Structure 1
């Protein structure tokens, strides 16, 4: 089983379920965030510049660092330093960030987690209940492309209970080095190269990249009986693997009538879901995203046997035997 990051305070917020789909005129047609477990209400902390241990090797951006053991007593406040200044988008609270990171214990220098060895950056939301508060406050205001070092006191980490799985005691200050690769919010879109959409028997999807919902024009033809997955905008990222989780914008319509049954656009949220779990809900959606490049917009036509078949969600525009059409902007994968 693939090891998960120890950073999570809970399951990622902003997760959208495709199981409960309603009419596009009702509230149920919009993406709904999964409930986040209650988290301690920690007020914004005082942020100081140090002390912070030295990065002794791996000093380049996105290179696995080696960090010295902490010297003396750490600050009771959140210590944050930009080791390498990026020039990308400024990160705000509630944004999703894609980052590589290394975490170790101040007093011992023991590394308890790092994403560099897994070769899969984390994608996580800087929101209460989604990530430890040290990250939530320490990365806000930083720019994409930055390397940030921070020392997180227990009150902004795992609290007095610590994290036994990682060998973290309730008194441990944690040291992180974080390389911020990208960030996303509810206005993010794919920005790939437009691909031909010449098949008149297939839906045509809009190529706007302004964060607004693209149009999906359904042809006056019978839907295909097999799964179709085509680029609308072709990105230049790595191909999505079947065991990954993706962060995306999406819009779903039914072929018959073209009505929207669910979307993230204009909802103020993004969707984050595991392709392995999505196979249990809409198998064709998971299969249609697999193998496509990160940064792409993909048009996916899902026949009934790979969607809801004869058991659609009740009360919505998806009926028995409905063919579904999706536009999916693949923003990131982990």
Structure 2
């Protein structure tokens, strides 16, 4: 089975750093061998396209949202502009530039109807940020302003696709217009929060975390007691999504404070920007604490020094040696 290609920028913040013994590898997701919309976007800074209604080839089967579509061969010459049409109108969150979009999609060549990639057969939607350099510009411009739950069809000329070089591996020439059908399942941004059932926080010896789901940073009240010696990872809000595997990449909101004084040292909420990372590329306490937890959940993690930064905290972080760290983490999605 082909893996999807991801081109995700390295996240900001301390959690992109591994713990002691970091091998210095980048936190970028490894590119796979599938020529997806994120595989090799054009590097040229093309001007914004004019968006038109068509022409677009007919969807001849699988017309319902979420069903694998069959799309006819393009008829005549495609538009030199970006053709976009909403086939099914959703009612969810509106997509904006730099949001993360979770979507199923099928892509084919206009002139031949050759399908070069689709996520439906993989049964795994693509999760990608709609940011320059992360995804082909056709997707950025076509999906912005659409709503979650929508099926969008687009015809992307080379200028806003893979450029004049095309994608040889996929059989895409530099003159090919590409046709996509995209089912936008979820949209995530800096206002996204966990969603699920609130779990009682009865242990007075552990931090208590706020349960607000309005996109604002939850409170973390650290007790004036000795910190636990072992890792703690408990649900604050339990979602109903799939469990996170120990080798998977997640999209999260988080906030970190020191057990010693409750001082915040890092937060996606403060930056207004989500973070994605592999559980194999962060401090051990994060990897172990989030593995097995459900997507959609908020988790409180208390990390002892041996599973955190130990005696080698990141320079300029405000974290002292052998600090116990406390995090609240909203697991928004798996990538």
TM-score by length of 2: 0.88
Query: 239, 253, 267: which is aligned to 2:243?
Result: 239
- Are 1:12 and 2:21 matched, yes or no? no
The aligned counterpart of 2:153 is: 149
Please report how far the alpha carbon of residue 194 of structure 1 lies from its aligned counterpart in structure 2 after TM superposition: 1.0
Matches within 5 A, 1:251-262: 251-262=255-266
Number of aligned positions between the proteins: 314
Alignment RMSD (CA, Å): 2.1
1:239 deviation in Å? 1.4
Q: CA deviation at 1:20?
A: 7.7
Aligned with residue 70 of structure 2, among 62, 66, 79: 66
Which structure 1 segments of 5+ residues have no match? 22-32
Aligned to 2:216: 212
Q: Indicate if the aligned counterparts of 2:194 and 2:239 stay in contact, CA closer than 8 A.
A: yes
Residue among 189, 193, 196 paired with 2:197: 193
Matched, 1:314 2:312: no
The structural deviation recorded for 1:202 is 0.9
Counting only pairs closer than 5 Å after superposition, residues 19-168 of structure 1 correspond to structure 2 as: 39-168=43-172
Using the alignment, how far apart are the partners of 2:183 and 2:213 within structure 1?
A: 26
Counterpart for residue 31 of structure 2: none
Please say if residues 42 and 162 of structure 2, whose CA atoms lie closer than 8 Å, have aligned partners that are also in contact: no
Structure 1 contact 83–146 (Cα < 8 Å) conserved: yes
Aligned pair in 2 of structure 1 residues 290, 126: CA closer, same or farther (>3 Å)? same
| Distance in structure 1 (CA, Å) of the matches to 2:127 and 2:218 | 24
Q: Counterpart of 2:36?
A: none
Query: How far apart are the structure 2 equivalents of 1:107 and 1:194?
Result: 52
Superposed CA offset, 1:98-147 (max 9, x none)? 11111111112121111122222111111111110000000011111000
Give the match for residue 294 of structure 2: 293
Residue 26 of structure 1 corresponds to which residue in structure 2? Answer: none
Q: SS at 1:80's partner residue?
A: strand
Deviation at residue 314 of structure 1 after TM alignment = 2.1
- Residue 219 of structure 1: CA displacement? 1.2
Instruction: Give the superposition deviation at 1:17.
Output: 4.0
Structure 1 equivalent of residue 34 of structure 2: none
SS of alignment partner, residue 190 of structure 2: coil
Find the residue that maps to 2:12 and give its secondary structure: coil
Matches of 1:47 and 1:316, distance apart in 2: 45
Judge conservation of contact 1:98–1:121 (CA < 8 Å) in 2: yes
Mapped partners of 1:323, 1:230: distance in 2: 16
Deviation at 1:39?
A: 4.2
- 4+ residue segments displaced more than 3 Å: none
Alignment partner, residue 3 of structure 2: 3
1:167-186 to structure 2, matched below 5 A, reads 167-186=171-190
Question: Matched residues in 1 for 2:150 and 2:202: separation?
Answer: 42
Alpha-carbon distance, 1:321 to partner: 1.5
Distance in 2, matches of 1:151 and 1:185, equals 26
Alpha-carbon distance in 2 for matches of 1:85, 1:102 = 18
- The change in CA–CA distance for 1:268 and 1:64 in structure 2 (over 3 A counts) is same
